[in-house]
Chain A
Amino acid sequence: MTTTVHNSKGTATPGLLGRLLSSGTHQRLLAFTSLIILLVVFSVASPHFMQTSNIIAILQATSVNGVLAVAATLVIITGGIDLSVGTLMTFTAVIAGVVLTFAGMPLPLGIAAAIAAGVFCGFCSGSFIAKMKIPPFIATLGMMLILKGLSLVISGTRPIYFNNTPGFDQISRGSLIGDLLPALPIPNGVLILFLVALAASYVLRRTVLGRYTFALGSNEEAVRLSGVNTDRWKIAVYALAGGICGIAGILIASRLNSAQPALGMGYELEAIAAVVIGGTSLSGGKGTILGTLIGALIMAVLTNGLRVLSVAQEWQTVVTGAIIILAVYADMARRKKS
């Protein structure tokens, strides 16, 4: 459990220093420091890196992976894993394509359909895990393949374009903030990521669902023996994560102005990597949305920075892998000490 920085007055909370040294904060500090170091190194190494257009590109690149990582964070805090977030994103994009392009329905219906499809698929994964007692890894691996196949089947293996839905591409590419403050042309995709993260963080800290999310990961059997209907809450977490994947589906479809049915595989691993770099424990019970956001940013900065420095794409992948191992090693070393 993390302590809020803005706490009510008069409570017996440890001081600021104590909180900074507490484990969750420590990991976030570690990740945050790494992010700053990366930014400094890249901006010294290349004059192009710190340009506004490049920063916007980094943020834009973070948005989809960030939203998926938020979904993965929820599931991972319960002690589970969701390998289907990537193909679920694609599946929901295809559903949006079916509703908007094939059926020609209005935009809000398409968005609603994508999110509903995500919730439904998450509900299915959760049910396989909670009711049929299939390990999360297997259940969501199966789901990943099912959704990949279904996306191809439904779309007829061809991309679905959203040319008939005016404004669809603006969901991700437009900039509401830029309209108001021309100096800050932050794309809507980033704004949406921010809102999703804020909402997820609120759910985790302030709601029953969030409390049980941490409790399930901390000690599921103890929670069950407390008389909590653990199955139901677990399914709810997967369903919520599915819904968030639906939002990611809309984002990526909007960015590409099309639903690409072959896309999606591999996104789940990037999302999980961001979660892990952000200090969320794969064994459950610990984690923060802020950490995950920083993790997603680190991944995006790395990819972008290495590209700006003209490092070959093959080597970018190698570096990313090494960073993941380093991040988790740092986490383990810290845990051992405490």
Chain B
Amino acid sequence: MTDYELGIPDIDDALGGGIRGGTNILVLGPPMSGKDTIINNIIYHGLASKEAAIIVSTEESGEDMLEWFSNSGMSVDAYMNLFGIVDCVSATLGLDVKDTASIRRVSGPMNLTKISVNITNYFNEFWMKRGVRKARLCVNSLSTMLMYTNLQAIFRFLHVHTRRIKTANSIGFYIVEDGVHDAQTMETFKQLFDGIIKVEVEEGHQFMQIIGLTPQPTKWYEFAIDDDNKLNIKRRSDI
């Protein structure tokens, strides 16, 4: 049974229709390879399907995230009651900005306690007040969090939240920069996840592959991102 479509038809087909609820996915790729755009497309597809979405943003302020969606022809205005951003950036920049219904600030990416409280509160609100039973969580990114605190602390944080994703039958995406962390860090992370979306760039071409959600890894798919930040699959590679 697949509960969640990614909204990328070729990939959904390769996965047998989509992704089962309760799945936690590592999104791995080199810097600037299009990981954020892929995940934002997947998040937007969820919102447009009346599912809830929560983004923990360690690199962009909540307002910048909303602007990205708006400028990309993926306006989330109609879905604001299903969308929550945990903004870990504004306070570290010393910006004096207040919380809004969909943007809650924490002091910084190392404040795992408050990040956890905000994720929990959003889940509670979407589930209890809005009656929404399907939700997508995205943590963007674990690499930034690792700059502020150690691997063990993040492991403990992820241990709690990946389990909650499982029991709530939601899906979680956790972005990590490839080639930045040592092998031990990567192995530690991999223990927590059910699958990997792997992104590569070769000679200016972008590719993605899903590992761990089907008996064999999917083929590599070449993709392109258009002017509206929409993701299009160009071809399936046979390697």
Q: Do A and B bind each other?
A: no
The chain B residues found within 8 Å of chain A, CB to CB, are none
